[in-house]
Amino acid sequence: MPEVVRLAGGEQELRRLAERLRPVPGGRVLLGIAGEPGAGKSTLAAAVAEAYGARAAVVPMDGFHLADVTLDRLGLRDRKGAPETFDPWGYAALLGRLRAHPDHPVYAPAFERVLEQPLAGALVVAEDVELVVTEGNYLLLDEVPWRAAREHLDVVWFVEVDDAVRRRRLVARHETFGKAPDEARRWVERVDEPNAARVRASRPRADLVVALD
């Protein structure tokens, strides 16, 4: 079972976790942060990068959402956010480039929450970046094609938070980006929670569990 660390917001503890990620001179470390929808992955990724310093970059998996036009063609629009609504092979290829080519800038897609669409080339990882932090729900799924992405990561943390807090965050997020309250709650029950169950089952494969209080 993975080691469990409780992170209560202390900067000192966060810096200690970040220090574990220092590469050998001239090297680069790829850290993955997995967790259920609404667990706080993006917040933790940003905090780790800030604690590490200027030579860290965050590259979320969300940039590999399939665009709505593709989801419509595949009949997956009503399951947006499920594993099959991403491009995991493309994501794995990007991680491979980040590992193999620290000698030139690598551009990566981002996900625009207001548009609910991916944006190509919105992020850049410069040559001097030592730590790349990537976060997403499905980094630890033990199935093809997600295993291809995991192979490029040096270490993967699993972030978890109280389940009631996580669900409230999800409902609030959906409301913020345009869903009515009832629609937001139905989406959490119908789409987010089945995805959360799949992610939760992957927890034992993490190198470290970070519990957010």
Residue 192 sits in a domain whose CATH number is 3.40.50.300
CA distance 193 to 190: 7
Cα-based angle 58, 161, 130 (whole degrees, multiple of 5): 20
Q: In 3D, which of 17, 54, 21 has the Cα closest to residue 159?
A: 17
Q: Using pLDDT thresholds of 50, 70 and 90, give the confidence band for residue 9.
A: low
Average pLDDT over residues 175-189: 93
The tens digit of pLDDT for each residue in 147-166 reads 999 999 999 999 999 999 99
Q: Which helix (H) or strand (E) holds 125?
A: strand 117-125
Query: What are the CA-CA distances from residue 43 to residues 39, 87, 143 (Å)?
Result: 9, 23, 26
Q: In 3D, which of 211, 116, 91 has the Cα closest to residue 173?
A: 116
CA distance 145 to 147: 6
Count of structural domains within the chain = 1
**Model pLDDT, residue 164:** 95
User: Position of tokens 């992610």?
Assistant: 199
Domain with 129, as residue range(s), is 3-212
The tens digit of pLDDT for each residue in 89-126 reads 999 999 999 998 888 999 999 999 888 899 999 999 99
Q: Whole-prediction pTM value?
A: 0.94
In this predicted structure, the answer to whether residue 35 has a pLDDT above a threshold of 90 is yes
Residue 208, strand partner residues = 3, 157
The tens digit of pLDDT for each residue in 65-88 reads 999 999 999 999 999 999 999 999
